[in-house]
Chains A and B, each alone.
Chain A
Amino acid sequence: MALTDETLLGAYKKMLMTRTLESKHKQLLAEGKIQLMGHFGRGQEAVSTGITAPLRKEDILFGTHRGVGEYIGKGMDPKDIWCEYMGKRTGLSKGKGTLHLTDKKLNIPFVVSSLGADWSMAVGAGLAIKMKKTDQVVLYSVGEGTCNQADAHPAMVMAALWKVPVVFAVCTNQFCEMAYMSEHFPTPDVAPRAAGYGIPYEIVDGQDIETTYEATVRGLESARSGKGPYLIEYKTFRMELHFTGDPGGYVRQEDLDEWGKRDPIDIAQKKLFDRGVLTPEKDERLRADIAQEADAAIKAAFDAPFPTEEDLFTDVCETKGVF
């Protein structure tokens, strides 16, 4: 089953916006215009978009710090992302979270700092859904490195035990922070661990948006129908270093060359050309529009006001007298 033209084009736009925002972030850092470190996900856009674009607004997303793909995918406004990124008062979290993006109206609780602290929160959110008896699903996005975090184990045990509607979306980008995955995993795949908990799983190509999107839809349908958790491992490659302070030097050139041949945006673009949905001229216009929207979002963030000293002490507690 292929994606409809409309869905494919929509996903393509999100992938483009993700890459555009991240490359602008990288550029602004290089120019010394901003201070916020970046953890970019170039090359992984078919995963970040493919796991989030199929979500309904009421579905809950626990995302990662790897770029903005998951947030753009679920519908976060680039202006909201950038106001928060820059620590502005108009940010979704009033500038107090910055890269720990949160958007309550989209059911996106904030990105945790201690990797994997949210494994169990995702299960708790799933438990809440089950108790409320709604047909929402929790999408837990996680990198393979964080699958070694201790809480992965009890979280999957409880998810399976309580049959909560959680889709564990594992983005295997071949790197665990600043080392190849092979230094962190005794096996080539992560997903078969799910079998130990009785959780159904699949392993899919992470470069083709149609493949990632459809796998996610299968996972969501399974979880939504009350069958409990589902795990999907998406195989991709991180074309950027772990973060902007990463000294690098550990990535093999032949891997970059090899994976570069299957760039997810190129693959999606070719499909759209082949279907006649896009022409090179239309594509150029589309990209220019996206660049313009990204620039406008970033400019709005630059122009927005910073928080005040008063804001330092708000939102800590409702209880009085805690200072």
Chain B
Amino acid sequence: MARTITFMQAINEAMAEEMRRDPSVFVLGEDVRVAAFGQTAGLVKEFGPERVINTIIAENAITGVAAGAAMFGFRPVLELMFCDFAMLAMDELCNQIAQFRYVSGGQYPCPVTVRMATGAGFRMAYGHSQSLQSQLIQAPGLVLVETSTPADAKGLLKSAIRSNDPVIFFEHKKLLLGGVSGEVPDGDYTVPFGEAAIRKPGKDVTVVALGFMVYEALQAAGELAAEGIDIEVIDPRTIVPLDKAMIFKSVEKTGRLVTVEEGRIRGGIGAEIAALAVGEYFDLLDAPVVRVAAPMVPIPGSPVLEDMYIPNSKSIVKAVKRVLERG
């Protein structure tokens, strides 16, 4: 019988189950013993301080530590707290960890999982709120995971820990702290990389939404349904590898594509998906692709301004209508 758990529990269970299953898995990061947000709660009690390692405050260096341990037989799960802080670790993430395997001709795979919280809405201003997924999409060798349900989060995090590739795992704060819950399968299971999920089937417009934006898209779907507009909401679940086939199949049906992300618009994930659609199946599109994303401004501290900054169901409704009006 399936259980209902929160997104936070899903992350926690994935790590605990993998640590039970494989002694080479360990967790490290700043304050992981206390569990600043809660994902690592209880792990030190069960697995001891040797496998739940509090690190110093030095993001680039602790990422290098994870890399070193991964090269010599371990599967570290590193928590970098906020994706904003991952910018301090960009050399290790993008220049080193991502490219180890290739530059060593396959001699040194680097099975590190790097978890980081993403997203705005908690009035934490510019440096604790960003969604910087697109900063990491350029590094060859990295797998990028971001999903929206507890079942997928658990299954994908287990896949990440078992993967021999380095995986960046984004956890939206609204999913972690907003008490989002859902059913998860019993027992051990994984969710494979590169398989998107249709969260709501529809025939008029394809909406590809990342992470928490899936919920905004579903809300938009409800509002649009009242006006007789039927959108299809796709959660890619992994940004790299991207399930191009599913997006293609959906656009083949709808002829219209909207991308939704909380990250900023310039050079965003939506730009990549839009370029893919235009480059590979231009003929299927009945209208130009529309991107919903954050504007090119820092995240303001004022609640009023922050709410204006974050894309939401209203911006999605507007984008869907725009894509329907054109072409």
Contact = CB atoms under 8 A, between A and B. Distances in A.
A319 B96 contact: no
Interface in B64-79: 64-74, 76
Contact of B105 (A92, A113, A132, A151): A92
Given A124-B65, A157-B56, 10 more contacts: A100-B104, A110-B107, A117-B91, A120-B61, A124-B67, A127-B53, A154-B61, A314-B106, A318-B109, A319-B193
Contacts of A97: 103-105
A125 B58 CA distance: 17
Nearest to A84: B105
A95 B165 contact: no
A124 to B, nearest CB: 2
19 contacts: A100-B103, A102-B104, A102-B107, A103-B107, A109-B100, A110-B107, A114-B95, A114-B96, A121-B96, A122-B68, A124-B65, A125-B68, A128-B68, A131-B26, A158-B58, A315-B101, A317-B141, A318-B109, A321-B242
Contact of B63 (A95, A104, A113, A120): A120
Contacts of B101: 315-317
Contacts of B106: 94, 314-315
- By CB atoms of chain A within 10 A, which of B72, B96, B141 has the most? B72
Given A120-B92, A128-B73, A110 B66 contact: no
Contacts, number: 163
Contacts of B68: 120-128
Nearest to A161: B56
A154 B242 CA distance: 36
A261 interface: no
Nearest to A312: B102
A144 interface: no
A134 to B, nearest CB: 10
Nearest to A62: B68
Contacts of B95: 112-114, 117
Given A150-B60, A158-B65, A60 B240 contact: no
B143 interface: yes
A88 to B, nearest CB: 11
Contacts of A125: 68-69, 71-72
A78 B140 CA distance: 30
Q: Which 4 A-B pairs have the closest CB atoms?
A: A124-B68, A120-B64, A93-B105, A154-B58
Interface in A137-167: 150-151, 153-155, 157-158, 161
Contact of A109 (B104, B164, B165): B104
Contact of B56 (A119, A132, A154, A317): A154
Given A114-B95, A154-B58, A94 B143 contact: no
A210 interface: no
